Structure 1
Amino acid sequence: MLFAHDTEVALAAAAALVNTANTDPDELADVAALDAFVAAWGWTGSRRHDRAELEEVRRLRPRLLQLWKEDDDGAVAIVNALLRDARALPQLVKHDQWDYHLHATSPDAPLADRMAVEAAMAIVDVIRSGELARLRTCAADDCDDVLVDLSKNRSRRFCDKGCGNRANVAAYRARQRG
């Protein structure tokens, strides 16, 4: 494990949130889809379950995507803005099946703020560890999904949607033809 468990989960959740915008139709097209995403990733705290909350979360995605495109200084500026905008106040908490970990917003903070701060806090660890290069875009020519390379040898190139398998099959078939 490169980072604390909660950091790795927050990084994966941020990548998954960004990637919801890379589908047609949008994976967060309605409140029910947001409810399913929140449940799948185990987000806790208050929810409004309305269209405004959905739009706030959808507006967060391009801000998080920028983290995959920036150098350290650019990522730091985004992280600081996300933390400042949500008035983050880091605290150690313990709930559900989780042992002590950091929360930097109250459980009543808007969902989009909690998501933004969770991602920002995880990126803080990535930047401090000098590992920003682990935030990547899928190497498949026809995919724009982002990923977090948590492999020991920094070798992950493809997202979780089967792009690596498709690339390997295409390479195999090209070798067979050649």
Structure 2
Amino acid sequence: MDSADYTAVALRLANADLSSLTAVRAALHDEPWWADRLHESDLAVLREVGAGLRRALDALLADDGDTALVEINNLLAAHPPRPRLSGHGGRDGAPNWHVHVAGPDAPAVDEVAAAAAWGLAQGVVQHGTTRWGRCQAESCDTYFLDTSTNQAKRFCSPRCANRMHVAAFRARRRS
């Protein structure tokens, strides 16, 4: 997994429904090696991490770099990454080299929390503080990272964009 993947984990956790283990596992469906090892007792930690991620993202959206810095550093202090090089999962016996953010025996919740904290920090390092957004579609508050060339992304997904564009089109046709 690379830093870009960890940024996606941070966003998925910030946007996730953390009310139940089933919902958390659904949010982490791309990481079954974590999702399948999480327990009900891990939800309190994940809720704390999710709240910290949202505070940091809200600070980035408000162009409050000082608060974002404090919030991200709080997450890193509470859930420090412990990087280790790994070479499993390759094809034909060749190693697939990548970095994990927790030791091989760490509980899944520790790795998810560290990955999310590290991912948000790396996202800010790689993309700066102005490329973070929140979906402008009605009834959607999803955070996203705008990697478009012109930094004009307003919606979290094509689905939300299409829904809003169709609604605007229908409203214009009615008038």
TM-score for both structures, normalised by structure 2: 0.76
**1:103 alignment partner in structure 2:** 100
- Which structure 1 residue ranges, 4+ long, deviate > 6 Å from structure 2? none
Root mean square deviation of aligned Cα: 2.8
> In the alignment, is residue 17 of structure 1 matched against residue 35 of structure 2?
no
Structure 2 residue runs without a partner (length 5+): none
> Structure 1's 171 and 36: CA in aligned 2 closer, same or farther, altered over 3 A?
closer
Is the Cα contact below 8 Å between 1:46 and 1:110 reproduced in 2?
A: no
Query: Aligned to 1:143, what secondary structure does the other structure show?
Result: coil
Query: Aligned to 1:153, what secondary structure does the other structure show?
Result: coil
Aligned pairs for 1:126-137 (under 5 A) are: 126-129=123-126, 131-137=128-134
> Structure 1's 93 and 80: CA in aligned 2 closer, same or farther, altered over 3 A?
farther
Is the Cα contact below 8 Å between 1:45 and 1:108 reproduced in 2?
A: no
TM-score for both structures, normalised by structure 1: 0.75
**1:7 alignment partner in structure 2:** 3
Is the Cα contact below 8 Å between 1:7 and 1:125 reproduced in 2?
A: yes
Structure 1 residue runs without a partner (length 5+): 22-27
Q: What's the offset of the Cα at 1:87?
A: 3.7
Aligned partner of 1:59 among 41, 48, 71: 48
CA distance in 2, matches of 1:144, 1:35: 20
**2:65 alignment partner in structure 1:** 72
> Structure 1's 96 and 109: CA in aligned 2 closer, same or farther, altered over 3 A?
same
> Structure 1's 56 and 125: CA in aligned 2 closer, same or farther, altered over 3 A?
closer
Aligned pairs for 1:1-178 (under 5 A) are: 6-21=2-17, 28-38=18-28, 40-44=29-33, 49-70=38-59, 71-96=64-89, 99-129=96-126, 131-160=128-157, 162-178=159-175
> Structure 1's 152 and 102: CA in aligned 2 closer, same or farther, altered over 3 A?
farther
Is the Cα contact below 8 Å between 2:38 and 2:108 reproduced in 1?
A: no
Deviations 1:112-162 (A, max 9, x none): 332222122222333223522222111124321211222232222112383
